[in-house]
């Protein structure tokens, strides 16, 4: 069971990309996969959308295994709990909502797959679920060519839906403090999830000092997104929360260092040992601006972080490994 925008190029997201790759990987591994993209403003569906999901589940045969995206599952415990008596329900959890509805929905699941160890620990802390029920399947990444760095390091890139959660207001505030220096920043991401916030960001980047230097590009996928990574010196992500951060590993696959807020599971994406980038506290534009100044002003720092990113590039997980982890979790359900 998938959100109905899973393949919509206007609303790309890490969760949608993960779901699509897992569906393909499970099919390649021999599973019979029947997709049901259910309409709804998940995780806030209307009564009609809830009824539609209930209708889809009613068509599933008794004892079948149903893997449901967490955005859908967490919103509809009144649908899932009654079905748990006849179906084997598994939930693919991207971002916990931390509410009573989610508690009830996850309680009805025989297996839960999370995209990071941080998310797994979060669910255990929130809901005291049986630890053996939760499996981590880290997001994979496709191999990519190494990006050729510029001399100045000033080609900044942020890939994230334009929403408060992703901290674009913090990023723009930090960039406004960098009136000097050779830099430009491209903001790539969906513009439809929070129109009022998008309008605010548009107004901010039209101000003197930022106009012409910060571009609101909109959503990009496929070769357009790959082309954006291919001309980036630094990935910048000012999120208020991340369960992992797939765009970070997309950058690291090209040996592009990252500058990211130290939240949630981002350290898992960066890997063990020396980080292939810079970490700053969330909600702190001054700290973010300071890190950007350090990056732009210190060629030795840029070279060191590029070398570290290049080492991380060789250790990134693949999508085949992700599918294997999900497959193992589901196989445990079928065996039981």
Region of 205 (left: φ > 0; alpha: ψ -120 to 50; beta: rest) is alpha
Residue 162 within a domain: yes
Question: Which residue segment(s) compose the domain that 235 sits in?
Answer: 155-313
pLDDT computed for residue 333 by the predictor: 86
The answer on 121 and 254 residing in a single domain is no
- 174 with 245, same domain: the answer is yes
Supply 234's token pair.
């630094």
Verify that 44 and 104 share a domain, yes or no.
yes
CA atoms of 13 and 42, how far apart (whole Å): 13
Q: Are residues 64 and 110 in the same domain?
A: yes
56 inside domain: yes
In this prediction, residue 234 has a pLDDT band, given cuts at 50, 70 and 90, of very high
User: Which candidate, 50, 31, 55, 54, places its Cα nearest to that of 40?
Assistant: 50
* pLDDT (average), residues 199-216: 96
Q: How many domains is the chain built from?
A: 2
Pair 95, 164 in one domain: no
Q: CB of 248 within 8 A of CB of 141?
A: no
Residue 225 lies in a domain: yes
131 and 260 together in one domain? no
Token pair in block for residue 291: 């890190």
Asked if the structure places residue 146 within a domain, the reply is: no
238 part of a folded domain: yes
Indicate if 198 and 108 belong to the same structural domain: no
pLDDT digits (tens, 9 = 90+) for 40-55: 999 999 999 999 999 9
For 96-133, how does the pLDDT look when each residue is reduced to its tens digit (9 = 90+)?
999 999 999 999 999 999 999 999 999 999 998 999 99
Q: Is residue 150 part of a domain?
A: no
**Could you give the C-alpha distances from 314 to 146, 270, 317, in angstroms and in order?**
11, 12, 9
188 and 85 in a common domain: no
Question: Could you report the per-residue pLDDT of 285-334, keeping only the tens digit for each?
Answer: 999 999 999 999 999 999 999 999 999 999 999 999 999 999 999 998 87
Asked if residue 202 and residue 132 are part of one domain, the reply reads: no
Q: 217 and 123: one domain? A: no
Task: Please state, in angstroms and as integers, the Cα–Cα distance from residue 195 to each residue in 161, 163, 164, 200, 283, following that order.
Answer: 11, 9, 11, 9, 21
pLDDT reading at 335 higher than 90: no
Report d(CA 43, CA 83) in Å as an integer. Answer: 19
Residue 281 lies inside a defined structural domain of this protein: yes
More confident residue, 334 or 83: 83
Question: Above 90 in pLDDT, residue 181?
Answer: no
CA distance 330 to 113: 9
Specify if 149 maps to a domain. Answer: no
Return the pLDDT at 179. 77
> Coil, strand or helix: which one is 147?
coil
**Residue 114 is part of a domain; what is its CATH number?**
3.40.50.2000
Same domain, 192 and 101: no
Q: How far apart are CA 11 and CA 6, in angstroms?
A: 8
Q: Are residues 191 and 327 in the same domain?
A: no
């Amino acid at each position: 069971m998938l959100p109905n925008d899973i393949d919509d190029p206007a609303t790309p997201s890490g969760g949608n990309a993960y779901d699509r790759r897992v569906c393909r990987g499970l099919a390649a591994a021999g599973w019979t996969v029947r997709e049901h993209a259910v309409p709804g403003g998940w995780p806030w569906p209307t009564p009609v959308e809830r009824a539609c999901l209930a209708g889809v589940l009613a068509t599933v045969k008794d004892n079948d295994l149903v893997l449901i995206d967490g955005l859908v599952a967490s919103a509809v415990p009144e649908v899932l709990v009654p079905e748990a008596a006849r179906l084997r329900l598994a939930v693919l959890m991207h971002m916990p909502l931390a509410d009573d509805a989610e508690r009830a929905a996850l309680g009805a699941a025989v297996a839960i797959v999370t995209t990071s160890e941080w998310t797994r620990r979060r669910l255990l802390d929130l809901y005291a679920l049986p630890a053996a029920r939760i499996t981590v399947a880290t997001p994979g990444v496709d191999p990519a060519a190494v990006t050729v760095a510029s001399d100045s390091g000033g080609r900044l890139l942020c890939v994230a839906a334009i929403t408060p959660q992703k901290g674009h207001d913090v990023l723009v505030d930090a960039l406004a403090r960098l009136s000097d220096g050779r830099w430009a920043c491209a903001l790539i991401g969906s513009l439809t999830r929070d129109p009022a916030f998008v309008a605010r960001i548009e107004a901010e980047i039209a101000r003197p000092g930022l106009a012409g230097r910060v571009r609101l590009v909109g959503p990009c996928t496929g070769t357009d997104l790959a082309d954006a990574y291919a001309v980036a010196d630094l990935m910048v992500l000012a999120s208020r929360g991340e369960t992992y951060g797939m765009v970070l590993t997309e950058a690291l696959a090209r040996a592009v260092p990252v500058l990211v807020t130290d939240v949630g599971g981002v350290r898992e994406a960066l890997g063990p040992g020396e980080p292939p980038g810079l970490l700053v506290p969330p909600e702190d534009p001054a700290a973010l601006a300071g890190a950007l100044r350090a990056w732009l002003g210190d060629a030795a720092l840029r070279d060191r972080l590029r070398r570290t990113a290049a080492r991380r590039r060789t250790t990134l997980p693949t999508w085949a490994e992700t599918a294997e982890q999900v497959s193992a979790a589901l196989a445990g359900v079928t065996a039981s």
